């Protein structure tokens, strides 16, 4: 008898990107296919290589096409030959801002140790682009880079954290630096405490970001869900990856929880030019990101089968394609 797969076909915009990006995305798509979920994919050649070719980073036309997709699946973008900021601001941040991907969700799990999720606010803070230069290039040069924190922006990330905690172990930790960042930290702390009153079943904690760095390494079992701002979240989640089996395993989702447009799913790692084109990249991070995409699209059963297969293959060594095949065979 045929298995009862849902008959829905999801439309996915695929950005393999640069370096190992296309190599790992190929494995992710292979595994999703093996899990029996039908995707209709459209490839977008974007990233450092495209920029060097014709100057295209991310056009408004492409962005408006993307709004009609169910999700975006991205490998990694960036090449050493492109000046810093061009791809980060012009593609990744533009995508987050324009599609309002305000939750950056990164799960971290290490068998026998910890299992927690970090929610990084993804549209504000020091990444908002506020600031500028004065007297650039002179000995009296000044550069400022402000941190933009709106009550609405902090609250919606915090609220997502409480909601997620109710589906897990009912514990939420706010990470900030309220003792020094007395304006933004104060806004975050008040928003956190006010929303907490609506979730009496969720216990809460607060850590300064520097202390959180110690706990991530020495006592990560204390965490269930963590919510934090954009910059702290960027740094903390690299540390989270490092204590959870390494960068080759770390997956992420960039969510528009209001579902006014597509969400984006990508491994945490970059394009790894040092190992690109050699089939040395671990595809597990990209495959797990694909599972997060399926989960978000409502294919929870296929998503958890893929995640379990990734866990079974997490310690495997082999080429990118061999690991992808092993995960697909394990389903």
Whole-number Å distance between alpha carbons of 72 and 264? 5
- Residue with Cβ nearer ligand NAI (55 or 85): 85
Residue 216 CB, shortest distance to Mg ion, in Å, is: 15
Using the rule CB under 6 A, which residue among 93, 174, 181, 272 binds ligand NAI?
272
**Phi–psi pair at 169, nearest 5 degrees:** -105, 20
Q: Pattern 231-260, binding to Mg ion, x per CB under 5 A?
A: ---x--------------------------
Site for ligand NAI in 252-271 (CB under 6 A): 266, 269-271
234: partner contacted, choices ligand NAI, Mg ion, none (Cβ within 5-8 A by kind): Mg ion
Sheet holding 203-208, edge to edge: 38-43, 9-17, 71-76, 263-267, 251-255, 103-110, 114-121, 225-228, 171-176, 203-208
Residue 238 CB, shortest distance to Mg ion, in Å, is: 5
According to the 3-state scheme, what is the secondary structure of 133-169? EECCCCCCCEEEECCECCHHHHHHHHHHHHHHHHCCC
Give yes or no for residue 36 binding ligand NAI (CB under 6 A). Answer: no
Kindly indicate which of the ranges 33-41, 74-82, 114-122, 307-315 contains the residues binding ligand NAI, using the contact rule CB under 6 A: 74-82
How remote is the C-alpha of 106 from its chain's centroid?
Answer: 6
Pick the catalytic residue from 51, 127, 160, 296: 127
Residue 156 CB, shortest distance to ligand NAI, in Å, is: 22
Tell me the β-bridge partners of 104: 120, 254
- Residue with Cβ nearer ligand NAI (193 or 278): 278
Residue 266 CB, shortest distance to ligand NAI, in Å, is: 6
Residue 61 CB, shortest distance to Mg ion, in Å, is: 28
Whole-number Å distance between alpha carbons of 172 and 207? 11
Quick check: is 177 catalytic?
Answer: yes
Whole-number Å distance between alpha carbons of 98 and 13? 16
Pick the catalytic residue from 51, 177, 295, 325: 177
Cα-only R_g, the chain: 20
275: partner contacted, choices Mg ion, ligand NAI, none (Cβ within 5-8 A by kind): ligand NAI
Q: Which alpha helices (H) appear in 167-206, and where do they start and end? A: 184-196
Whole-number Å distance between alpha carbons of 185 and 295? 33
Q: Which chain residues interact with ligand NAI by CB under 6 A?
A: 20, 24, 76-79, 92, 247-248, 266, 269-275, 281-282, 285
């Amino acid at each position: 008898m045929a298995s009862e797969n849902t008959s829905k076909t999801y439309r996915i915009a695929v950005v393999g990107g640069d370096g190992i990006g296309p190599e790992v995305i190929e494995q992710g798509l292979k595994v999703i296919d093996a899990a029996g979920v039908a995707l209709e994919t459209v490839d977008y050649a974007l990233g450092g290589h495209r920029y060097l070719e014709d100057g295209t980073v991310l056009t408004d036309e492409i962005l408006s096409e993307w709004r009609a997709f169910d999700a975006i699946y991205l490998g990694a973008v960036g090449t050493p030959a492109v000046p810093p900021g061009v791809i980060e601001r012009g593609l990744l941040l533009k995508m987050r801002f324009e599609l309002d991907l305000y939750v950056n969700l990164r799960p971290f799990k290490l068998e026998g140790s910890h299992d927690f999720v970090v929610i990084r606010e993804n549209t504000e803070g020091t990444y908002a682009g506020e600031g500028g230069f004065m007297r650039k290039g002179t000995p009296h040069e000044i550069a400022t880079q402000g941190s933009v924190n709106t009550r609405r922006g902090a609250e919606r990330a915090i609220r997502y954290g409480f909601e997620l905690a109710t589906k897990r172990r009912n514990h939420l930790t706010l990470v900030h630096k309220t003792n020094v960042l007395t304006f933004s930290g104060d806004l975050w702390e008040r928003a956190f405490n006010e929303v907490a009153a609506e979730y009496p079943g969720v216990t809460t904690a607060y850590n300064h970001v520097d202390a959180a760095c110690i706990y991530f390494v020495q006592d990560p079992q204390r965490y269930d869900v963590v919510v934090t701002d954009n910059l702290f979240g960027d740094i903390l989640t690299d540390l989270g990856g490092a204590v959870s089996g390494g960068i080759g395993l770390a997956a992420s989702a960039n969510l528009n929880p209001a579902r006014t447009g597509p969400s984006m799913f990508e491994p945490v790692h970059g394009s790894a030019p040092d190992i690109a084109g050699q089939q040395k990249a671990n595809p597990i991070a990209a495959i797990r990101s694909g599972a997060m995409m399926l989960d978000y699209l409502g294919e929870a059963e296929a998503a958890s089968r893929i995640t379990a297969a990734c866990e079974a293959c997490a310690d495997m060594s082999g080429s990118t394609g061999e690991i992808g095949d092993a995960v697909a065979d394990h389903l």
